[in-house]
Each structure stands twice: as C-alpha cells, then as structure tokens.
Amino acid sequence: MSGWRAMQLEEIPARNNGWIPVRDHLGITAFGVNAWTKRETDGAVIAQHDEKGTAHEELYYVFRGHATFTVDGDEVDAPEGTIVFVRDPNVSRGATPIDDDTIILTAGGKPGETFTVSDWERNWEWNRRAFPLYRDKKYAEAAAVLREAVAAGADNAGIHYNLACFLSLAGDTDDALAELRTAIEGDESFRELARHDSDFDPIRNDPGFPT
C-alpha cells in the first residue's frame, strides 16, 4: 500500500481557522489541494480574496453542505455537489456557509508552471509553534515565535498578519499596527479580514488602524 492511500476527508484533522490540509496530510507534491470548513474569525468557508499574487486558477467543490459564493460581485447558490471554477486570478471570490457543517474542497495552480508549495503552507510550521501559545494567552511569546519566522525568511503577508494579531493582544500597539500595515501591503484581503477579527479589538479605535 506504499504507492496509494484511501481515507475519509473527515479523518484529516482540521488545523487553524477551518483549514483541512489535504495536500500536506497525504504528502501530495504535484498539485495543490485543500479543504475548508467554517472559519472562526469571520464565519466564512472561503475568505473573500483574489489570486493576483499567485496567478493561480482555482476550483471549488462543495463536498458537503450548502454555501453561497460571491464571485466578481455575483452571488452563486452552491448546494452540495456544486463546482465553481475561477480561471482569472484577478477575480475576487469567497464563500459563506448556509449549513454550518459545510466543507469545500479546493484545488489550484498556476498554468504552465510546476507546482510549488505556497508561502502560507510553508508558514504552517511556524504557526504550529505559535498558536498553542496564542491559545494559552501567551501573546508576547507567540509574537516572539513569528518574529523569529520573519528573521528566518518567512517574510510574507500571512505571517505579518498573525504577528499583528499577537502583538495587538500583547498590548504592543505600535508594532501591531506596523505589522498589520505590512500584511495589507502584501495582501489587500487582510484589510477586510482585520475589520472583523476580534484579535484587533484592543487597537481597533487607534487612529492608525487601517480602514
């Protein structure tokens, strides 16, 4: 059985914020594939975003439940079994669940190029170290882990966003705002996410908070 594996999707443990890491769990190297459940931060299944930074085409399959997609401003009713394919990386897309147990399977890649693991998946090892500290409310220690990540070369929008969250909760307002601005400069979708993320409640009324 070394050349193949079979399992139920629900057997793959979910990680932070609704991510079911199908590719990583199965050791897939040829293409990107993951699954998503309802996110704790904003209640979405797929956060509203585009793929300008990666130039990926993406396919979304409603594996279980029922969702509403918003694609390029249009709403798409997506009951179980629906496929939504977004070819244009400039198009904004996202999905909110109608059923709380909704799972959406995603696959994507850049046409004409060999698949490479995305920055956010590489970041997972750093986040795996930081998030237990975050859950234990050791916010300054969690921030120290991600500062180490940035110093080690994980200098991307996702790491800066999480670092901003930890710094906000640790009471380090100036650095939290600076990291959040860096995250948004790298990925504009983090601006909308921050508006609803309770981690930023301590600094939300600061004049420097991005709106």
Contacts of 68 (CB under 8 A, 6+ apart): 75, 76, 77, 78, 95, 96, 98
Contacts of 138 (CB under 8 A, 6+ apart): none
Give me 59's structure tokens.
């396919």
Q: Is residue 46 part of a domain?
A: yes
Per-residue pLDDT, 46: 96
Q: How confident is the model at residue 24 (pLDDT cuts 50, 70, 90)?
A: confident
Domain boundary among 109, 142, 177: 109
- The number of angstroms, rounded, from the C-alpha of 200 to the middle of its chain's C-alpha atoms is 17
Per-residue pLDDT, 133: 95
Give me 74's structure tokens.
């249009």
| Domain match, 89 and 139 both | no
| Domain match, 197 and 126 both | yes
* Cβ atoms of 106 and 23 closer than 8 Å: no
Q: Specify whether the backbone of 199 is left (phi greater than 0), alpha (psi in -120 to 50) or beta.
A: alpha
For residues 51-64, average pLDDT: 94
| Domain match, 83 and 151 both | no
Per-residue pLDDT, 203: 97
Comparing 92 with 126, the larger pLDDT belongs to 92
Domain boundary among 59, 78, 109: 109
Per-residue pLDDT, 119: 73
CA-closest candidate to residue 150, choices 134, 137, 164, 138 = 164
Number of Cβ within 10 Å of residue 82's Cβ equals: 16
* pLDDT at 1 > cutoff 60: no
Q: How confident is the model at residue 154 (pLDDT cuts 50, 70, 90)?
A: confident
Q: Is residue 53 part of a domain?
A: yes
Domain boundary among 87, 109, 131: 109
Residue that the structure tokens 């650095």 belong to: 175
User: Domain total for the chain?
Assistant: 2
The Cα–Cα gap between 69 and 44 comes to 10
Does the pTM surpass 0.85? The reply is no
Residue 65's domain comprises 9-109
* Cβ atoms of 195 and 44 closer than 8 Å: no
Per-residue pLDDT, 197: 94
For the segment 75-85, what is each residue's pLDDT rounded down to a tens digit? 999 999 999 99
Q: How confident is the model at residue 208 (pLDDT cuts 50, 70, 90)?
A: very high
* Three-class DSSP category at 73: coil
Most confident range, picked from 10-14, 21-25, 92-96, 113-117: 92-96
Per-residue pLDDT, 96: 97
Class of residue 114 by CB neighbours under 10 A (exposed 0-12, middle 13-18, buried 19+): exposed
* pLDDT at 141 > cutoff 60: yes
Contacts of 141 (CB under 8 A, 6+ apart): 133
Class of residue 113 by CB neighbours under 10 A (exposed 0-12, middle 13-18, buried 19+): exposed
